[in-house]
Amino acid sequence: MKTPFPDPETVPVLKDGEIRTCLDLLLDESVGASEKAAFLDALHRRGETAAELAGFASCLLGKAVRPVISHENCGPLLELCGTGGDRAGYLNISTAAMFVAAGAGACVVKHGNRAFSSKCGSADVLEELGVSLHLDPRWAGDVLREAGCVFLLAGDYHPALAALSSIRRGMAAEGKLTVFNLLGPLLNPAHPEVQLTGIYRPEMLPVYAEAIRLLGRKKAWAVHGEGMGDSGGVDELSILGSSTIHEITTGAESLVFSIQPEDAGLNTADNDSALVGGDARTNAARIVSILGGHEESSATDMILLNAGAALHLAGMGTSLAESVSLASESLRAGKAFRALESLRKASGVATVAS
């Protein structure tokens, strides 16, 4: 039987109309799961273009539930996240960094999901931390105002993604990644102005940065960090060595540069033993220990590096080193831990009625 999908290995770039058609087919229950998986696998092996990433993201955002978030008394909305897929098995760095950035005064709107290609996704660890995941979209802004951060569970805001979860999990079990492993950070329904996103495939950095630009972010970094051993690197700014950054800014030329931990006033770690995480319970306990000031390790420094970069993008700090100092103060003064406590409390009273 002929597949209803275009062949991504012979079509140079899927155009907007073709992207909409492909998404409709992926959501069509009458189309076989094997056909959907074959298309997603072929597209990913061929390599998604920036226009395709932005096109799929735009189509999904058009179908998304929009949270009610006011910019009153709030700085630029900030997203910090990774694509996942690096298989390094590290602690949930960007999730912990969310609380550090919020404690420093940023307005963090983090969009994420449960794990597909790792042991513990952002939603998994936040749930273990006592954060209620299923917010009423009308109250998302209230939670943000109270805690300085809010988490938007992808399945609640993107019913289309929820419909594809079984196919994605099945492919992940076979070690196959898809366009959706790249799309996640582009699908924040709050449409944040600034964004720090880690990419697990370094060759995708220029493509991803261009996709972010096409979606209208005012300022963003697409980053890939150095890993250890046979690792191809990590979808975070790395404390282990060099990190490559593709920066986009509205009205300016894109920039490509690299940084070392020392550029941010931190020391390069000589191993990644403290960075390795586990299941949701293990990672949650580590995050509480770090935010509570009981653990000082390379994991702490990696959280500070990423939180500092996020603050820098949000205009807090004139240099990366100064922004990391603001992040460090947030941690030392207990502000980051209070942001976690505030999110626990605020999310608990803003959940969807059962």
Asked if residue 2 has pLDDT above 90, the reply is no
Q: Where are the domains of the chain?
A: 77-156+163-348
Strand order of the sheet with strand 255-259?
149-153, 107-112, 77-82, 194-198, 219-225, 243-249, 255-259
Q: Does the structural domain 77-156+163-348 have CATH classification 1.20.1050.10? A: no
Lowest mean pLDDT among 6-20, 110-124, 153-167, 298-312: 110-124
| pLDDT tier, 86 (very low <50, low <70, confident <90, very high otherwise) | low
Q: Could you tell me the CA-to-CA distances from 145 to 74, 77, 102, 136, 303 in Å, in that order? A: 8, 12, 10, 15, 23
| Inter-residue contact 303 to 100 (CB < 8 Å) | yes
121 band by pLDDT with thresholds 50, 70 and 90: confident
The answer to whether residues 147 and 346 touch, using CB atoms and an 8 Å cutoff, is yes
pLDDT recorded at residue 165 = 84
Residue 118 has what pLDDT? 64
Q: List the helix and strand counts (H, then E) for the chain.
A: 15, 7
What stretch of H or E contains 311? helix 298-313
pLDDT score of 1 more than 60: no
